[in-house]
Amino acid sequence: MKIVRELLPYFDERPNGVKVKTLVIHCSAQSAREMIEVLRKRELSAHYIIDFDGTVYQLVSEQKRAWHAGQSKWRKMDMLNRYSVGIELSSTTLGQSAYQPAQIKSLIKLSRQIIRHYQIPVTNVVAHSDIAPTRKPDPGIAFPWEYLAYKGVGAWYDLADAAKVAENDVATLLKTIGYDTVDLPAASYAFCRHFAPTAVAEDDDVYHLVENVYPKNFVLSKEYLPILKAVAYKYGNNF
């Protein structure tokens, strides 16, 4: 894994006593070099970018708070920049088509190092869409969450666990996983992006996708309730 340091000045200190507890995965519709220039213009940052060929660019020290997550919430944490390391991947379709194998290989290696160093729980390896469901669609429906979980990066579910969960209320189950359910359609759609991508419509226009992150009237279909219950069992394990 090749790491190129291309440091940006857009960061600040983490608050005193705050520890890294999460790993946030993003994607943007540019090459790494193009993305760096966009971040420069917008005075934003991530800790790392992974280009199409698997090259890793480090933009901010992990010890510093990069500006990648924005308004966000996961479990009892809000403003996830405080608690997280952020990794961007290049994807021309915003994760609606398969990532390059070299990217995923580098992501797994880098993520394992970060998870091991900070002892991040597998249930705190999250998508940008998980922590900001009303605003962000990335890293998209083609992101290989199940494969990454198999490799020790994140968590996946066992559908058999659905039978162990009596709860059927969608909002309660989503909260158990970690989602902010103030906007229930957004949280439900973000859940599907991560765990049930067949429920999510593809959008050929990435600009339209960015402006229309989720259907405002989206309701989780009953056919996906067993997946939701199985994930809630895996993430909460308190039923």
φ/ψ bin of 30: left (φ > 0), alpha (ψ from -120 to 50), beta (otherwise): beta
Within 8 A by CB and 6+ apart from 164, the residues are 233, 239
Cβ distance 138 to 127 under 8 Å?
yes
Cβ distance 48 to 110 under 8 Å?
yes
State how beta strands 22-28 and 125-127 pair: parallel
Other Cβ atoms closer than 10 A to 119: 9
H-state helical runs in 135-224: 145-150, 170-177, 184-195, 206-211
User: Which is the catalytic residue, given 34, 37, 88, 211?
Assistant: 88
Q: What distance in Å separates the CA atoms of residue 127 and residue 131, rounded to the nearest whole number? A: 7
Q: Is 88 designated active site?
A: yes
Q: What distance in Å separates the CA atoms of residue 24 and residue 149, rounded to the nearest whole number? A: 14
Q: What distance in Å separates the CA atoms of residue 103 and residue 234, rounded to the nearest whole number? A: 27
Which amino acid, residue 66? A
Strand, coil or helix: what is 197?
helix
Which are the catalytic amino acids?
88
